[in-house]
Amino acid sequence: MRPDLVDLNLFLAVVEAGSITHGASNVGLSLPAASERLRNMELASKVKLLERGRRGIQLTPAGEALAHHARLIHRQMAQMRGELGEHARDMRGTVRLATNTAALTEFLPERLAPWMAAHPRTDIELKERQSVEVAKAVSAGLVEIGVLSDQADTSGLQLRPFAIDRLVVVVPRGHALSARRSISFEEILDQRFIGLAGGALQDHINAQAARVGVKLKVRVQMRTFEGICHLAAAGIGFGVLPETAAHRCRGTANIACVRLSNGWARRRLSVCVRSEKELPRPARELYQHLGSGVGQRQ
């Protein structure tokens, strides 16, 4: 068996996503091309690597072994790039970072700006994922750094505190609920909602509703928190979003914010890596900067 780096990257992406379709998309391959590569890997190795089912893929023992060695190779490649980069003064570098929605929209722009200004030859490749997927991506070596909530299993990862993220419900000012300081998610599940289009945060909210056997009644989905707030102010539906975003919108939208009392709605965000000492120098410096506490909003 002689898999190349594209094969290994694809295989780890499929393992992370739990799906060939999503894994292929994450590495920029079409589904037919990805399926053919995976099939060729199994033919070349003469063992079955993946069990394909209606709920996604499961690794066979041989697949577990391949995933382990592929992660080792990814880490070694990252170290090699880092060491070579230190000898190439004019070489541009890229740090791969996966983050959940709250960190991406509410905290990272402010935290990344001064670091990137001080490191003009380092680019950041950002991926928005649910916190569970961020942990998997860091563990698999698909990204160097992750920013995630404490809802994810971070076993085997090194963590530094990043920020506190609180979720609130936004309603029109003067609404019967606007006088409440907090409310449970279950109390409002019979309401109509304004969703966030294509975001990991919305996936997280939908999952919480599914846990209690409910599918959210979504009237419309918007691409920005500002759009959600303006529609909520008009009484179109309730919105669920980070408290920082809701407070920012109160200057332009006539809304009230009510904190969600559920434990999952108050999340400690952390920045994580697999091993700080194994990171290339730019990634290590960025990890230390993000976890330094500078600019944290509690």
Chain segment 139-171, per-residue pLDDT in tens = 988 999 999 998 889 999 999 999 998 999 999
* C-alpha neighbours within 13 Å on the C-beta side of residue 205: 29
Q: How far is CA 54 from the centre of its chain?
A: 24
What are 145's strand-pairing partners? 97
Span 230-249, mean pLDDT?
Answer: 95
- Kindly state the percentage of the chain with pLDDT values over 90: 57
Residue 36 · residue 46 · CB < 8 Å:
no
- Mean residue pLDDT across the chain: 89
pLDDT above 50 for 296: no
Predicted structure pTM score:
0.65
* C-alpha neighbours within 13 Å on the C-beta side of residue 169: 28
pLDDT of residue 298: 44
Q: Give per-residue pLDDT as tens, 256-288.
A: 999 999 999 998 999 999 999 989 889 999 999
Local confidence band at 77 (pLDDT 50, 70, 90 cut-offs)? confident
Strand positions, DSSP E, the chain? 50-53, 56-59, 93-99, 122-128, 145-149, 158-172, 182-183, 192-196, 217-222, 239-242, 255-260, 266-273
- Rounded to whole angstroms, how far apart are CA atoms 60 and 244? 44
Handedness of CA 93, 96, 99, 101 (dihedral sign): positive
Residue 257 · residue 247 · CB < 8 Å:
yes
